[in-house]
Structure 1
Amino acid sequence: MNVPEVYLLHAYSSRNSGDGLLVELSLKAIRDAGVTGRIVVVCLDKVSFEGYLSDTNIELISVGQFFLRKVCGAFAHRRCVYFGVGGGYLRASSKSEGWKSLVAHGSQILMSTVGGPSRRIYLPQSVGPFDTAPGRMLARLVRGHVERIFLRDDKSVDELGHPGATRTGDLVVLEIDQHAHSGTLRRARCVAPQVYLVFRDLQEKPYREEYLTRVRALMGLLPEAKLAVQSRGRGNSDDVFYRDLLGIGDAVLLKDVLAAGNAIVVSVRLHGSLESVLAGVPSVHLAYERKGRAAYADLGLDAFAFHASDFDPQTVVSAVQSIIADEEQFWRCLERRTQQGHQHFVEAIKDELRTFDNPDHGR
């Protein structure tokens, strides 16, 4: 395959462990699809990825460096493939969020069209809503310039209306699926698990005050539970939320919790839950976006996912207690839904690359 330049766009920051994991799994998917050469990773927080990624055949550049490179090479006519990191960043639920998405992410899509022949393949996303002016502009950019996009929930498929869209699981869901299929997911327990809570501020949600009330009630019902930090820095730090809104300054890092392993995690952050399951730690998820319930449905774990907007704290506690009483039932639910989704996903990427390399392929 003659592809001189391969880019991975939209890398955010490894200070959010979920976003860091998505970059790692995006690189893994690209490698699994047969790309062996150097991959240029375009980062919003370049410094956070230095020394973080296990793939050494990469180049880290900032968004500004990417723009400069594309402008300087506008007439070089190099062939390029651009991958979009899996995630949920192409959204515009409000005008302010829409403009931020356009500036941070729409600009990268637009700049990827500068120069020679190119192909854009976006790894599993949740996108939208697009019912604001910047949202509609963002949707047009995606439909007009992204040739293939994998979408991880049905509502995104309906709202985007993209002819090159394929419904698939979140990258971490696909990775969990692989491990469950090979029987390498579960961990043996020696003592009773410790319960950890991962919360985040939902400052732009209209139900924020009710959410805070429910969070405090949940903590009251789980007095032995400890707080864990999944994301910090870049404006929405879990530890700042704990200190300023909950009055608690003591929290551990989720990655340390998962390394130890003997835990149950209740997480508002989707990838706080998915990282936990991937590490063999059961997790109850309090979803605040469409991606959360979709991911848990894909895993067969619907009974362990609730809406952050209206969850009943006692029902969440009951779900936690059911795992403590019989952890096997959590894993049985997941394993009954195990499919070879990752293999089909990788084959679809390979097919897209073959089409770019040979335009007559598949006709």
Structure 2
Amino acid sequence: MKKPDVYLLHAYSARNSGDGLLVKLSLRAIRDAGFTQLITVVCLDPASFVGYLDDPCVRLISLWQFVVGTLTHASRRRGAVFFGVGGGYLRAGTWKEGCKTLVAHGLQIVCSSLWRPCARIYLPQSVGPFRMTPGRVLKWLVRRHVDTIFLRDDKSMGELRHRHAVRMGDLVVLEISKHPHASRRAPSDSSMSDARRKVHFVFRDLSDKSYSDAYIAKLRRLIELSPDASFALQSAGRGNSDDVFYQRVFGVKSAPALRDVMRSDDAVVVSVRLHGSLESVLCRVPSIHIAYERKGLAAYRDLGLSEYAFHAESFDPDVVAAAIEKLRSDTAPSGERWPRLRWIAIRNC
């Protein structure tokens, strides 16, 4: 019997290291489920994934190539299995955001629905809000055309009310859970005289939030309280570039990539981007998360690290600075005392 075509939908761009990591982990989950054939990855930025993915048996195509291919081949009734990348892209908080989501992601759901027979399985997501007409359309598409969806926070479960929704941790949380006691190497003798960990900030622009001005004022205060901290870059390009935000707001002209910081330093990462924090924890680097969406607080709660998660709207810079000081003064090798993880009942798909 011929194997079905396998697609991984909703890949964004590897220029955002968190989104790139989610694509890698999504591919790994598909392989672990027993799919050994070629996987076609539908990307908004295919070029960024060239040479990035560690799975050699993939084909990268753009959204428009997928649309054309669907119109060409779907009527042939070839079997297909569609997976959705884990993440938080199915949202419509404003009219503009909803319209962009319908074009970039709703169109992929519509195209997958034209294939017969097929199965559509979405890896751990945060979905919503579903506001105004675009949001209602998006919600209908997900409820109508996604067979099974794994959701990584309780609010998503309540908003979507999908008949086959399963509560599950973020893909990076699941990856961390595989090695909860792994540790990084101890600091070298040459670094023992400077035992305090270095602090790196990963901030992002929240100008679309009503509390944006207060948020920036709090970040400035946090910088004042950690004067020896530096910036790191988790996302660049495609209108979502942290370095542009750093230069415009803080006058920082350049910053190293977060992945390089995690490789070279015994560090503490303070990240507004969820996967800036989760990537750090995955590498056994202590990380404080300043969340601006439900997914961040849920992920840290799943890890048992709620004391290191704060909300971008209401966080107290002095309290965050105290948490930073607690972590950076801990001279034990990362992983021996960080993180102390507990796990919710997490099921593998």
Asked if Structure 1 and Structure 2 have the same fold, meaning a TM-score greater than 0.5 normalized by the shorter chain, the answer is yes
Superposed, 1:207-222 pairs within 5 Å as 207-222=211-226
In structure 2, relative to structure 1, the CA distance for the partners of 1:35 and 1:207 (3 Å cut) is: same
Alignment of 1:286 with 2:287, yes or no, is no
Alignment of 1:263 with 2:267, yes or no, is yes
Alignment of 1:233 with 2:237, yes or no, is yes
What does residue 9 of structure 2 align with?
Answer: 9
What does residue 90 of structure 2 align with?
Answer: 90
Q: Aligned equivalents of 1:98 and 1:8: distance in 2?
A: 22
Aligned-residue offset at 1:116: 2.0
Aligned-residue offset at 1:261: 3.8
Q: Aligned equivalents of 1:201 and 1:336: distance in 2?
A: 30
Residue-by-residue CA offset, 1:79-116 (whole Å, 9 max, x unaligned)? 00000000000001111111111110000000001132
Contact 1:261 1:279 (8 Å CA) reproduced: no
Alignment of 1:297 with 2:301, yes or no, is yes
Aligned-residue offset at 1:189: 3.0
Gaps of 5+ in 1: 349-363
Superposed, 1:1-363 pairs within 5 Å as 3-180=3-180, 183-190=181-188, 191=191, 192=195, 193-326=197-330, 334-338=339-343, 341=346, 344-345=347-348, 348=349
Aligned-residue offset at 1:259: 1.3
Aligned with 1:303: secondary structure? helix
Contact 1:261 1:281 (8 Å CA) reproduced: no
Contact 2:41 2:61 (8 Å CA) reproduced: yes
What does residue 358 of structure 1 align with?
Answer: none
Aligned-residue offset at 1:340: 7.3
Aligned with 1:74: secondary structure? helix
The TM-score with structure 1 as length reference comes to: 0.91
Aligned with 1:179: secondary structure? coil
Q: Aligned equivalents of 2:327 and 2:142: distance in 1?
A: 41
Q: Aligned equivalents of 1:222 and 1:301: distance in 2?
A: 22
Amino acid at match of 2:277: S
Residue-by-residue CA offset, 1:144-167 (whole Å, 9 max, x unaligned)? 000000000000000000011000
Aligned with 2:178: secondary structure? helix
Aligned-residue offset at 1:285: 0.3
In structure 2, relative to structure 1, the CA distance for the partners of 1:165 and 1:217 (3 Å cut) is: same
How many residues get paired?
A: 342
The TM-score with structure 2 as length reference comes to: 0.94
Aligned with 1:252: secondary structure? coil
Residue-by-residue CA offset, 1:10-54 (whole Å, 9 max, x unaligned)? 000000000000000000011111111110000000000011100
What does residue 354 of structure 1 align with?
Answer: none
Q: Aligned equivalents of 2:207 and 2:331: distance in 1?
A: 34
Contact 1:23 1:86 (8 Å CA) reproduced: yes
Amino acid at match of 1:60: L
Q: Aligned equivalents of 1:261 and 1:299: distance in 2?
A: 23
Contact 2:284 2:338 (8 Å CA) reproduced: no
In structure 2, relative to structure 1, the CA distance for the partners of 1:336 and 1:21 (3 Å cut) is: closer
Contact 1:125 1:170 (8 Å CA) reproduced: yes
Contact 2:200 2:231 (8 Å CA) reproduced: yes
Q: Aligned equivalents of 2:251 and 2:314: distance in 1?
A: 23
Aligned-residue offset at 1:258: 1.0
